Structure formats: C-alpha cells, structure tokens
Structure 1
Amino acid sequence: MRRTSGEEDEKKMRWNATELKLLMVFLMVLDHIYEFIPGTPIWFTYLGRLVAPVFYFLLAESYHYTRNRIKLIERLYLFGLIMLAGNILITYIMPSELGIPNNIFMNMALCLTFLECMERMHTVTDGRKRIVLTTVLLLSLVLLFFTEGNYFTLAFLLVFHYLRERTKQRDIAYGLIALAMTNLDFSYASLFLYNYQWMMVFSIVFFRIYNGERGRGLKYAFYFFYPMHIWLLYIISQMLQV
C-alpha cells in the first residue's frame, strides 16, 4: 500500500534520536552559558529546560533497545567518574565558591541502576539475590540525592520506561511532574525568575516528533562533548572574574 502525501509529509517532520540529540546539545550549551557566564539573558536557560527531559527520554529508549544494559550502565559510571575527577582537578586549580556541580552521567547511571534492579526483582526468586538487589536499589536512591537532577530525573525515566507504549498516559504523567516543579506558586516571579523548571513541559513536543529511529549514532560524541564544554565554560567564567 502506497503512502499518501500527507503520510510522507508527516514522516519528514519526525526526527530521529541523533537529530534530537544535536538540537538538545545546542540548547544545553545555551543553558550552561547562562549558568557560568554572568549577564547572559535568562531566556537561554528557559530554552535549556527542554534538554534534560529529552535526554532522559532517549536514555529510556537506549535502555529498551540495547543488547547489553549492564554495559550501558557501566559506560555511564565510567564517564561519570572521569568527569568527577576532571571537576575536582579543575576546581582545585581554579577554585570558586560554587565549583562545578554538573555531572549528568552519574545521575543517569544511578537512575538506570535503580531501574535495572526493579526490572530484575520481577524475575529473581533467590532470597539472597533479592536482598542484594534491594540493597543496590536503595543505595542508588540515596546517592541520587547528591547528584545533578536529583529525584525528578528518576521519576522522568520511570515514566518514559513503564509508559513507553502508552504515549498519552506518558505525556500526562510527565507533564504533571514538570508542573509540580512550580511548588504551587504561580506568581510571575516564581514562574519566570525562580521556579521555571515547569517549562520542561514543552519537551512533550519532542517526544511526539521522535520517529523511533536511532539515526547516524554519534555514540561517543556526547560523552566527550558534555564534560569538555562544561570545563571550558567554567574556565572562561573564572578568567572573566580575574
């Protein structure tokens, strides 16, 4: 059966994972420029609210499709530790009051560890193994508190994974979590100056245009680009204060 022109146009409007990642990387850079460089317009970080949800949405997709989930988790821990070491070294050489709090790799690794433990709990019957899984699950939950993203990213990941085939319920659940970030304060100052995390709700647009395809991959590009641009912006911010 031949596709209609409308179906062809709709297909062209949809983006693969690589295309979404490249756009989000651009918006992420804008967000981090606002974070590190004084005087940057606040709308840079408004646009940055779209980034984390889309990356966790794509992380859930990677977890679903990968042939080796443990290897994916190990890779995130590896780059998380590399970035942690880099953060410590750079802030030791160029100390500041806030330092470098950014390390989304570690948060992603812990979120996937939690999810993997939950998945295995459904199939493991051995008592000792269940105790180990429960211990690792609880430990990852505690450690998440000390990472960038905190528990909201875990909530996002669980929604994206368990409601993967029910897109309407997924978007509603995600939207409610995003709107909960208003802290129920709907004043202008709260919504647009302090608690603008609610703008994450607009990421739903990108969930909808995702076509389910991987694209060209660029598997390791983000793993290297993310810490490098953070370190560069931090160094620039410190040089501007000299």
Structure 2
Amino acid sequence: MDLFWIKIIGIITMFIDHYHYVIGGNQILNVIGRIAFPIFAFSLNEGYFHTSNLKKYLVRLFTFAVIIQIPAILFNLYYPVNIFFTLFFGLLAVSIVNLKNKFKIPVYAFILLKIFLIFFIFYVTKKFDFDYGIYGILLILVFNIFRNNKLFLLLAFFLLNLAVIIFPNVFGLFKIQFFSIFSLIFIFFYNGKRGKSLKYFFYLFYPIHFLILEGINFFLKKL
C-alpha cells in the first residue's frame, strides 16, 4: 500500500471522527477516528525523510496552521488549536532529535540542549492546548526513532497508549485513544512508495471538511 492510499484512509477516518465531534452519533465513530492521527504522524515522518527542503516543509506547515486557525479565532469556535500546529511542532521536535553537532558543543551539553528544547515543545503544546498535545509530539517521535523496526515501533506505540490510560491528566486524552494502535495495520502494509501526489489536497481537506460538517450541523438543527 503506497502513502497516497494510507493518507486517504487517514482523511476518511478523520472525517468520521469529526462527524462524531461536530454532529454526534454512535461511539464507534470516535473509535474509528482514532486511526487518523497516527497515519498523519507517520506521513509527516515520511515527508521528513524524503523532503529536499526541510525549512520549506516547516514553513508550509506553520503557514497552513495559522491560516486555518484564523476562522476559529474570528468566529469564536470551540475548537482546539488545529492539528497543523501539532504537526509543525512535531516536525520541529524530529529536527531537534536528529540535529547534528556542527558547532562542536560538548556532547553532554548538546544532549541537554536537545532535551530542554523538546521539553519546551511539550510545554507549548500543553499550555496552548494543541490537538493531541504531548501525545501527538511523542507519537511523531516514536515513528521517527523506530521507523525501521516494526517490533520496537509496536512496543513503543503500545506503551505510549498505555501511558494515556494511566496518566490521563498529563495527556488530556481519553482511554479510547488506545484504539489508535489499529492504525498500524495500515501503516505496516506501507510499501515505501509515495503513490499519487495530491499534496495540497490533503492540506485543504482539513478546513474544508470542517466547513462541510458545520454546514450539515446547521441544516440538521433547522429541521
């Protein structure tokens, strides 16, 4: 399965999840929706490894994050800070973890600097209530660190979701997040190929699908 079809599964399950969030419905919709974010976290890492310009990638994510957040601020919509901010800071965290010591800083000082920057990212995501917050950043790092080891990836994913159950106040998520582990069924079938390139479609789908759902919700309330 190439990355294009994995992303398609991601946006379909995201739509289902947000349908439950905006309109309501059976809890199974929320369970299915747990598959979406890990797919985007995985796709982000594939983008990191294959991009020819990391700075442009970061700028693109940040720009979309800001643009998408503006309507929520203007119309006082009750949405968390959008997922593109989480992806941006997640990619930033990945960049920090993989940063080379070009300035010949003492090794221990360089490691401590990396740890400080990562924890600062955790602080920002928690402080401003990013969608998926600390969990989202950690999951993105898990996909990066264990990219080439499916067994360790599965174990790390399991332990992270277990931590959500044990420390719900830290992560700000519900126990239902554990179902996100089923996303690995699709991710493990990844064949390493990019597939069709519809880059901006995946970016634009995020705000557009919220407009569609809010429109459906408005129409249903008028009935």
Shorter-chain TM range is: 0.7 to 0.9
Deviation string, structure 1 residues 58-110 (Cα, Å, up to 9, x no partner)? 1111111111111111111000000111222233xxxxxx7122510001001
**Identity of matched residues, %:** 27
1:171-186 equivalences under 5 Å are: 171-183=154-166
TM-score between both structures, scaled by the size of structure 2: 0.84
Task: Tell me the distance in 2 between the aligned counterparts of 1:180 and 1:37.
Answer: 29
TM-score between both structures, scaled by the size of structure 1: 0.78
- Cα RMSD for the two superposed structures: 2.7
Task: Tell me the distance in 2 between the aligned counterparts of 1:34 and 1:132.
Answer: 41
Task: Tell me the distance in 1 between the aligned counterparts of 2:81 and 2:2.
Answer: 27
Does residue 182 of structure 2 align to residue 202 of structure 1? yes
Task: Tell me the distance in 2 between the aligned counterparts of 1:198 and 1:73.
Answer: 29
Letter in 2 for 1:28: M
Match of 1:140 among 112, 121, 130: 121
Partner of 2:153: 170
**SS of 2:133 mapped into structure 1:** coil
Partner of 1:228: 208
CA gap of 1:164–1:122, structure 2 versus 1, over 3 A, is farther
Task: Tell me the distance in 2 between the aligned counterparts of 1:41 and 1:130.
Answer: 46
1:1-242 equivalences under 5 Å are: 15-38=1-24, 40-91=25-76, 99-101=78-80, 103-120=82-99, 122-125=101-104, 137-145=118-126, 146-183=129-166, 195-238=175-218, 240-241=220-221
Greater shift in the superposed pair: 113-122 or 54-63: 113-122
Confirm or deny: 8 A CA contact 2:158 2:181 kept in the other structure.
yes
Confirm or deny: 8 A CA contact 1:90 1:231 kept in the other structure.
no
Confirm or deny: 8 A CA contact 1:121 1:133 kept in the other structure.
no
Confirm or deny: 8 A CA contact 2:90 2:136 kept in the other structure.
yes
- Matched residues, number: 212
Higher-Rg structure is: 1
Deviation of residue 48 (structure 1)?
0.6
Runs of 4+ in 1 over 6 A off after TM superposition: 129-135
Task: Tell me the distance in 2 between the aligned counterparts of 1:169 and 1:132.
Answer: 26
CA gap of 1:81–1:130, structure 2 versus 1, over 3 A, is farther
Deviation of residue 231 (structure 1)?
3.0
Structure 2: segments with no counterpart, 5+ residues: 169-173
Letter in 2 for 1:161: N
Task: Tell me the distance in 2 between the aligned counterparts of 1:136 and 1:56.
Answer: 20
Confirm or deny: 8 A CA contact 1:53 1:200 kept in the other structure.
yes
Confirm or deny: 8 A CA contact 2:6 2:187 kept in the other structure.
no
Structure 1: segments with no counterpart, 5+ residues: 1-14, 92-97, 186-193
